[in-house]
A and B are shown apart, each in its own frame.
Chain A
């Protein structure tokens, strides 16, 4: 590294600090700038990591092309709302797989929160002057933006397979994806406050992602599960992921499912509230547990 002149002398004389103009703003416009910046960073990171994009796409496509095709004859699906007629198994699983993308993405965002905390970039985010709940909300919205891009990329491929979704459905599903993404992201955000180290994340996969996905209406209608076990049926019925799938399933067929919507919004708010408490500097888990990982004091 060569410097033509010493660095110190290149720093020009500036006005005294009392005269320098503050360039940031702390009002609502400033917050929107902050939100935009956080979403932009998340999207930049996502598109920079091409392998992440493809693996996010490949997972549901494997389910659709292989699993669903294989089970097509075994798992016949009879008429039930929102479907008007008998549907192929491939058609049935598409909404569930789209929400599965959001589930994985919610957990991936949570994983990146834990990683950010370990490497310290979380500290940088939290030095922003905006209220912490607004920063967490921005982080959540950024993750949801990525998950919606992924879900629609999957739907675009599924369109050429056998998805049977009306064109208007792609539009009406957008608010549903937003709500389900926020709920799953909020669950992930809360989990990220509990997971102290990245290594513990495998247990999140085993104890959260897989049970949520399999004990839901994503892969099979719940009346079929009820035929085998009443208990399991109720577990699936109480699983918020089932409601997320149903909300999106109905929305894709231009219908609204109020119970699913209420559950998704309610669970989303509850987990977001808990995440805000967990990240609160006074009451937070971080303060009690001995500070953020990586601190050496």
Chain B
């Protein structure tokens, strides 16, 4: 498959062990271009390990990962240049201003200062926080910080966005804002998204979904079709993670 038509994210038979413990076991996931894919899993399922492998924090020990056709082990720079990430932990520098944080991240991607300033303006408009540009991050609410982190992840115009439980700890309104921002990016800009979560309200029936449990994929398909006929996604999820190894759909 040529790079011009490759999937946004292709994870093939990835395994990763920490000592004797298998954190990921034969995991294969495809995120198609312009799709919103949900990665569902309880705490400890291996979601964060998978994200660490995709972001090349550490190499997968087996299998392969490629981003828009660029294999992570062979062309890490080209692969990472197309990837934006919002990590689960808050990673903004609270002593610096919103703009300083965003400009710093722009520099990590080799964006000139002038171009970065223009881009910061666009992105702050997009996440509705243009008026907080020169405020210290420590003065922002949790939801606002998350929106800044999303802006930061988009600064180099990535084509694939990874979000690791981005709405954890946020109130309902902030959570809805974050979901709306990302879904609009998918709809209007064709961004491809892998969204790890265990909050079912954030997933639409026609999203692609993968259920990860104890490092293995136990179900995959359209979110609305993961369960048995008439079974809600939440119920299907509870059933799947209670009985490891049993795949539906």
Contacts and interface: CB of A to CB of B under 8 A. Distances in A.
Interface of A: 1, 3, 6-8, 10-14, 16-18, 20-27, 29-31, 33-34, 36-38, 40-41, 44-45, 48-49, 119-121, 123-131, 281-282, 284, 286-292, 294-297
A103 B109 CA distance: 31
B114 to A, nearest CB: 11
Interface stretch (B40-48, B200-208, B230-238, B239-247): B40-48
21 contacts: A1-B173, A3-B177, A8-B183, A8-B184, A13-B188, A22-B156, A24-B157, A26-B77, A30-B110, A41-B93, A41-B100, A44-B100, A128-B80, A129-B77, A129-B80, A129-B81, A281-B57, A288-B19, A291-B58, A295-B49, A297-B43
A164 B141 CA distance: 53
A184 to B, nearest CB: 24
Contact of A297 (B46, B93, B126): B46
Interface string B72-95: 000011111101010111111101
A227 to B, nearest CB: 49
A289 to B, nearest CB: 8
Interface residues of B, number: 71
A38 B109 CA distance: 11
Contacts of B191: 17
Contacts of A282: 58-59
Contact of A1 (B77, B89, B143): B143
B3 interface: no
B225 interface: no
A23 B180 contact: no
Interface string B47-77: 1110010011111000000000000000011
B107 A14 contact: no
Nearest to B191: A17
A130 to B, nearest CB: 7
A204 to B, nearest CB: 23
B57 A286 contact: yes
B96 interface: yes
Given A33-B113, A41-B104, A123-B52, 18 more contacts: A1-B144, A7-B127, A7-B184, A11-B126, A13-B188, A16-B189, A17-B190, A20-B189, A21-B157, A34-B110, A120-B87, A123-B91, A126-B55, A128-B108, A130-B108, A286-B58, A290-B18, A297-B23
B159 A17 contact: yes
Interface in B98-136: 100, 103-113, 115, 119, 125-128
Contact of B181 (A7, A26, A125): A7
B174 interface: yes
Contact of B108 (A1, A12, A37): A37
Contact of B107 (A20, A36, A120, A287): A36
A260 to B, nearest CB: 35
A296 B110 contact: no
A193 to B, nearest CB: 13
Contacts, number: 192
Interface of B: 18-19, 21, 23, 34, 43-49, 52, 55-59, 76-81, 83, 85, 87-93, 95-96, 100, 103-113, 115, 119, 125-128, 141, 143-144, 156-157, 159, 173-174, 177, 180-181, 183-185, 188-191
Contacts of B109: 23-24, 30, 34, 128-129
A113 to B, nearest CB: 14
A158 B181 CA distance: 56
A294 B89 contact: yes
Contacts of B77: 26, 129-131
Contact of B52 (A14, A22, A129, A295): A295
Question: Which of A6, A289, A295 is the most central at the interface, judged by chain B CB atoms within 10 Å of its CB?
Answer: A295
Given A21-B157, A22-B157, A291-B18, A120 B189 contact: no
B112 A126 contact: no
Contacts of A124: 85, 87, 91, 105, 108
